[in-house]
Amino acid sequence: MHIKKGKALENLGFDEFLRIYSDNIEILHRNKYANGIDKYNYFKRIGLGDNLVGATIDGWFINNQGGFELLEIECSDSTYFNISYYRI
């Protein structure tokens, strides 16, 4: 059940992201996972600390100015989704 809940929340996060930002997106690509294993991992710095934290790229898109951006959707038990995108 936990995996299904996570995937459903991720899909909802994509839908909400598109609803809000669709006017600024030319192409959106959702990353697919092989056998439930994330193949698009990276490390990022949180706050001012020196430690790196593992994260997963859930998708990428090209904005209407031609910029390439990475999309990360974080689902937790809180009330809100955290959707981050990073300009490359």
Supply 30's token pair.
């959702």
Mean pLDDT over each residue of the chain, to the nearest integer: 72
- Structure pTM? 0.59
CA–CA distance, 12 with 77 (Å, rounded to integer): 14
Q: Which residue has the tokens 């689902």?
A: 75
Q: List CB contacts of 9: < 8 A, sequence separation 6 or more.
A: 75, 81
How open is the CA angle 59-60-62, to the nearest 5 degrees? 155
* 28-62 pLDDT, tens digit each: 888 766 445 555 666 667 777 777 666 677 788 88
Residues 24 and 66 sit within 8 Å (Cβ to Cβ): no
SS3 77: coil
